[in-house]
Amino acid sequence: MKLLDGSLVAAHYKEKIKEEVKSLISQGSKKPHLAAILVGNNPASEAYVGAKVRTCEEIGFASTLLRLDAQIDEARLLKEIAALNENKDVDGILVQLPLPKHIREASIINAIDPSKDVDGFHPVSIGKLVLGQDTFLPATPYGILLMLSYYGIDLSGKHCVVVGRSNIVGTPMSILLSRNNAYGNATVTLTHSKTKDLKAHCLQADVIIAAIGIPYFLKADMVKEGAIVIDVGINRIEDASKKSGSRLVGDVDFDAVAPQCSYITPVPKGVGPMTICGLMQNTLNAVKNKR
Ligand code: GUN
């Protein structure tokens, strides 16, 4: 069993981006600029946005963090997005999800200028992804592809079972892996909470992408010998032995599943750091698209 080390791989890609930024700046370009909007103060969202802003600093990007009150109405939030769309210095815009219940997520995502949609959530970005056109890929699927590429893992002809059909991970991942492209050509089964006999599907898989958001969901008896397991879950569970009273676990019962895998990602330090890499690469691409 080989561990797919998200921290190591993310450091590799971040270094490459950092070098590219230096080179762009030496040619007279401005710094890539990512603007993040955080509505309210959901602790998980605070942590994710904080990590994104810190990474910007690390690799030579400018960043703006717009913190907005949880009570903000949709019209005001749309105005903030319109201002960022207009702002020539801003290359990429992300609105951290989830949003408070009174705000319609689709109306916010649809308001982002597709040329600045570095999260790849806009219908234009998703439409292009489905058609195999060049576009911003959603950060988590993109990060997973970067990780597989780093380790030289080719999924062509393999059977991939994606568990979970979210707009952010499961659905775009299933499409990307099934397309005829350098990283795709897999045979993909997209499974979800209503799938009958999910275990039988998983047992057929050469590759399992677990993105269902349930701690320890994927058990050892659901994984065939030699499978590749990618754990997208970031679930916080109580743990009295920790000072914080909690710890992060994935969607995979790691200790039981790992011995029978050819490759597996840990949680933390697996897919998480790669998601940030995907976002940063998209922001750099946004700058390059303008040149
Ligand atoms: N919430 C969970 N994952 C993500 C992500 O990749 N981007 C944004 N904006 N919000 C998220």
Q: What is the pLDDT of residues 151-165, one digit of tens each?
A: 999 999 999 999 999
The DSSP H or E segment spanning 36 is strand 33-39
Residue 190 has pLDDT above 90, yes or no: yes
Residue 98 has pLDDT above 90, yes or no: yes
- Percent of the chain predicted with pLDDT > 90: 99
Residue 44 has pLDDT above 80, yes or no: yes
pLDDT (0 to 100) of residue 290: 84
Domains 29-114 and 139-272 share a fold: yes
The average pLDDT across 244-270 equals: 97
pLDDT (0 to 100) of residue 114: 98
Helix%, strand%, coil% for the chain, nearest 5: 45, 20, 40
- Percent of the chain predicted with pLDDT > 70: 100
The average pLDDT across 84-95 equals: 98
**In the structure, what pLDDT confidence band is assigned to residue 283 with cuts at 50, 70 and 90?**
very high
**In the structure, what pLDDT confidence band is assigned to residue 282 with cuts at 50, 70 and 90?**
very high
Establish how many alpha carbons lie within 13 A of residue 131's alpha carbon, considering only the half-sphere containing its beta carbon: 9
Ligand 1 nearest-atom number relative to CA 45: 1
Q: What is the mean pLDDT of the chain?
A: 97
CATH class as words, domain 139-272: alpha beta
Q: What is the pTM of this model?
A: 0.97
pLDDT (0 to 100) of residue 291: 74
Q: What is the pLDDT of residues 132-149, one digit of tens each?
A: 999 999 999 999 999 999
Q: Which of 5, 14, 52, 253 is catalytic?
A: 52
Q: Tokens at residue 39, please?
A: 């509505």
Task: Encode burial over 254-264: b for 16+ CB neighbours within 10 A, e otherwise.
Answer: beebbebbebb
pLDDT (0 to 100) of residue 212: 97
- d(CA 212, CA 166) in angstroms, rounded, equals 8
CATH class as words, domain 29-114: alpha beta
Q: Where are the domains of the chain?
A: 29-114, 139-272
* Phi, psi dihedral angles at 158 (to 5 degrees): -80, 155
**In the structure, what pLDDT confidence band is assigned to residue 263 with cuts at 50, 70 and 90?**
very high
Instruction: Give me ligand 1 centre to Cα 267, in Å.
Output: 17
The average pLDDT across 35-57 equals: 97
Mutation pick for ligand 1 pocket among 48, 66, 77 (CB with most ligand atoms within 8 Å):
48
| 119 flagged as catalytic | yes
| Cβ 51 under 6 angstroms from ligand 1 | no
pLDDT (0 to 100) of residue 105: 98
| Cβ 91 under 6 angstroms from ligand 1 | no
Instruction: Give me ligand 1 centre to Cα 224, in Å.
Output: 31
Mutation pick for ligand 1 pocket among 42, 93, 95, 96 (CB with most ligand atoms within 8 Å):
96
| 197 flagged as catalytic | no
Ligand 1 nearest-atom number relative to CA 36: 9
Instruction: Give me ligand 1 centre to Cα 57, in Å.
Output: 19
Residue 119 near residue 139 (C-beta atoms within 8 A) = yes
- d(CA 137, CA 121) in angstroms, rounded, equals 8
Nearest CA to ligand 1 atom 4: 97
| 52 flagged as catalytic | yes
- d(CA 131, CA 111) in angstroms, rounded, equals 22
